[in-house]
């Protein structure tokens, strides 16, 4: 990923996907996620409040999607949030990132160097 993390100006995934995970990730079970920020969706799974119905937006997301955002529980976020990567982070395309960005009218992220000019004869001697 570039020096400027695109997630800091995006946040579309936090306003597009349901963030559900095993209840054992909650603080009352010895995990990291604050209990008061989740809702139970079945006997073994919880979801971040705000992501359990459409339209969704995680209760922990602050700021304006597509402009500047921040997660208020970043250090205590759930495993789906920790595992979700922006497209081209670590060189891998993430179609889910593209889908979330498209839902907010944001263009897909491009691989590093994709916007640099390509000169097929670079270094060739000009006659």
Residue 20, beta-bridge partner list: 47
The per-residue pLDDT string of the chain (127 residues; one tens digit each, 9 = 90 and over) reads 345 789 999 999 999 999 999 999 999 999 999 999 999 999 999 999 999 999 999 999 999 999 999 999 999 999 999 999 999 998 999 999 999 999 999 999 998 876 654 444 444 444 3
User: In whole angstroms, what is the distance from residue 14 CA to residue 50 CA?
Assistant: 9
pLDDT digits (tens, 9 = 90+) for 64-80: 999 999 999 999 999 99
User: In whole angstroms, what is the distance from residue 91 CA to residue 122 CA?
Assistant: 25
Q: For position 3, what pLDDT does the model report?
A: 57
pLDDT digits (tens, 9 = 90+) for 116-125: 544 444 444 4
Q: For position 115, what pLDDT does the model report?
A: 63
Angle 49-100-33 from CA coordinates, rounded to 5°: 30
- Phi, psi of 38, rounded to the nearest 5 degrees: -125, 160
- Give the pTM: 0.83
């Amino acid at each position: 990923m570039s020096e400027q993390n695109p997630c800091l100006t995006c946040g579309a995934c936090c306003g597009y996907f349901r963030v559900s995970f095993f209840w054992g990730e909650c603080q009352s079970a010895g995990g990291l996620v604050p209990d008061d920020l989740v809702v139970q969706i079945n006997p073994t799974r919880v979801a971040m409040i705000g992501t359990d119905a459409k339209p969704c937006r995680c209760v922990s997301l602050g700021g304006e999607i597509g402009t500047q955002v921040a997660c208020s529980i970043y250090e205590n976020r759930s495993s789906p949030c920790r595992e979700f990567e922006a497209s081209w982070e670590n060189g891998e395309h993430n179609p889910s990132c593209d889908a979330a960005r498209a839902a907010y009218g944001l263009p897909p992220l491009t691989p590093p160097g994709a916007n640099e000019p390509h000169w097929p004869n670079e270094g060739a001697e000009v006659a």
